Chain A
């Protein structure tokens, strides 16, 4: 099946810093979603982005489907941004396959 790799696995930032999270996938995909899992376990939808670039406040995402990667940008990070960020792709297997996530810690 399709492989999804996220990097870095762990990231520690000072509040106010910017960061870039990466998601690589091994095959062509029809969809890609970014999620933020908060400390209470809730998976919050950030972006539905099969291709192109989208922005939502301090967050933006870019997917380059032909090169099989997506990037999530977090600017001016806040402590509430802490948690695990997952990317998930919908490929030929017709199911959403998740990466292992990036654990982000934003220090005050």
Chain B
């Protein structure tokens, strides 16, 4: 496999469920990102991990909990979500440094019922 892989591709969950999104990068990068893409809105940065340390948290509600166990894997744990959290969640990776070039996965389309 190459690039950035996200699973699952689609997820439907109820507001009381707990689920996790997974992202894996095979590019040898050392920074990983979560973005949210809602309908009719620009992509919004949620979290950034650099060298496995969280360096950015863009005022994201606590019902979203990221985890970065190593430089190749990134998770987004979801619990007690709201219907307005339905969106495409995109993972990206890059090399550490400024300015980086980001590479994205295919995303997880999340629907909260």
> Which A residues fall within an 8 A CB radius of B?
4, 30-31, 33, 35, 40-43, 45, 48, 50, 86, 88, 90, 94-101
Contact = CB atoms under 8 A, between A and B. Distances in A.
A50 to B, nearest CB: 7
Contact of A43 (B42, B58, B90, B98): B90
Interface residues of B, number: 21
Interface stretch (B12-20, B69-77, B101-109): B101-109
A42 B106 contact: yes
10 contacts: A4-B42, A33-B102, A41-B106, A41-B107, A42-B104, A43-B90, A45-B101, A88-B43, A94-B98, A98-B43
Contact of A95 (B41, B45, B107): B45
A45 B103 contact: yes
A88 B98 CA distance: 14
A43 B43 CA distance: 11
Given A88-B102, A90-B99, A95-B48, 14 more contacts: A4-B42, A30-B98, A33-B101, A42-B104, A42-B106, A43-B90, A45-B104, A50-B99, A86-B43, A94-B98, A95-B56, A96-B45, A98-B43, A100-B42
